[in-house]
A and B are shown apart, each in its own frame.
Chain A
């Protein structure tokens, strides 16, 4: 895709495993392995998947915070993997990130006003009272009080910190925002407020989002397309309606089935299905399909040969030998 805001080609991130003192390191951990995806301007790509499947790692790699082991990543046409400090700076004014763990991603000795204003200040976009005003606006937008600006991170609840991190990412009005679980710590009304804000910004400025979430109802609400990851690979991508309407990969199906509904009567009436089987170790993936250990449809083929992503007429691509069943 040429006009893409984000273009990830065959990206891989492997972590060296720790060796001991003078001991050789073991097999690398393939946190992300051969992932390709693209996001058009004004588009939202939802990324869902197993916890630990490499979503955050991919997000970090996109912003050059984790080095790529293989592949290429382009943000707004600029290559991230070979960027020097200067062009990383430009890339980062086009792309920002909402970190998954707000407690650790806020400097404990920086007031949140300073934290939110930092991207503006360092890029010389605002200073003094103008900066204060911008910060106040951002705080309001995420549902916090402007006079919270002088407080320090420790004095906020988990959800409040999450909102601070969102405000910081939005400060630069970047073309692409990578949201790593941006709303999971928020109560539903604030979550609605943030989602509205994200949607509004997208409408007004054509922002694109890579939206990582476990909450399928949120993904369904905000995403145009959805990518499903499992153990470092993408197993299915499709437009939102196709994916939710006709999930093809057994893991996607399991996910949709497991999503609880906010209605006790309906929810409790649902058959409870917990996936059996072992999650394979990310350092020692089975030769075939990674999901084969838990998959109800798994055949010998699945266990020996890794399925490739294959396109379907409705725009979906699925990596499953039994996708049509």
Chain B
């Protein structure tokens, strides 16, 4: 039984909460993929006389804004649906870039030790010490704003976190007898790292990755004040939220809906991540 097959059978036996979370995540993914088909309105279409309408507001022409409108009179529902696209793309792209770079370098450092360790880990320290904002500013000044720049900045500034976690875990795992057994079996570097170390350190990495997943969506919003975010009028949850916080008292829906979406997305990613980790561990069979 391969790992994937193993996982499949486990998924079939997963508790209801996992199924719910998986469908939730699936729904968000579908929402992102088919946003143009799902959104009732053009998310960029403004109507300044229809600013800040509450959810369910129906105009004289009979158009209904299910989630209300934002501060430029755009349909919030359509923006949230389209926002899923940008936000999830940012999260997936930046998390995978930094997870890849970070865990590879971290494992290498923890396993090889010696000067490679010093070089990698001190570089990690350097990257961690430089405020991300600073690099973001430079990137915007030199490369110009845009989605690629955003991913570049997020990927470049976040990988050291993964690297440190991977490094610390690898240090510990590398001392275990089964690593020596694998070495004896003739496993070379890549195999030792991928087959022996990685599965045994995947848990903490997964925790960081799932935590970062939500963070990246929020980060995009925080970076938008430097111009690094998704450029308007393309919506993202982060920018909708940060724009909405000005209207907390007047228009709660501007933060409540995208906030709830974000919460549910992060929840599902976290719960699935933890479940995945638990079930990648062959020792923890479901109870009963």
Seen from chain A, the residues whose Cβ lies within 8 Å of a Cβ on chain B are 60, 63, 65, 89, 92-93, 96-97, 99, 101, 104-111, 114, 118-119, 122-123, 150, 152, 154-155, 165, 168, 172
Contacts and interface: CB of A to CB of B under 8 A. Distances in A.
Contacts of B250: none
Given A65-B183, A96-B184, A122 B191 contact: yes
A122 B200 contact: no
Contact of A109 (B177, B184, B186, B282): B282
B186 A168 contact: no
Query: What is the interface residue range for chain B against chain A?
Result: 20 to 34
Contacts of B179: 107
A258 to B, nearest CB: 29
B178 A104 contact: yes
A106 B184 contact: no
A99 B181 CA distance: 8
Given A65-B184, A104-B176, 4 more contacts: A65-B183, A96-B184, A109-B282, A118-B182
Given A99-B181, A105-B177, A154-B283, A110 B196 contact: yes
B13 interface: no
B135 interface: no
Contacts of A92: 183-186
B185 A122 contact: yes
A107 B200 contact: yes
Contact of A154 (B176, B178, B200, B282): B282
Interface in B39-69: none
Interface string B183-224: 111111001000110011000000000000000000000000
Contacts of B122: none
A107 B186 contact: no
B181 A110 contact: no
27 contacts: A63-B184, A65-B183, A65-B184, A97-B184, A104-B177, A106-B178, A107-B178, A107-B179, A107-B181, A107-B196, A107-B200, A109-B200, A109-B281, A111-B282, A114-B195, A118-B182, A118-B186, A118-B191, A118-B195, A119-B186, A122-B185, A122-B191, A123-B186, A150-B1, A152-B283, A155-B282, A168-B185
A118 B185 contact: yes
Contacts, number: 76
B186 A122 contact: yes
Q: Which of B185, B188, B280 has the most chain A CB atoms closer than 10 A to its own CB?
A: B185
B182 A65 contact: no
A97 B186 CA distance: 12
Nearest to A149: B1
A108 B177 contact: no
B180 interface: yes
Contacts of B191: 118, 122
Contact of B181 (A155, A168, A172): A168
Contacts of A114: 195
B71 to A, nearest CB: 51
Contacts of A165: 181
Contacts of A119: 185-186
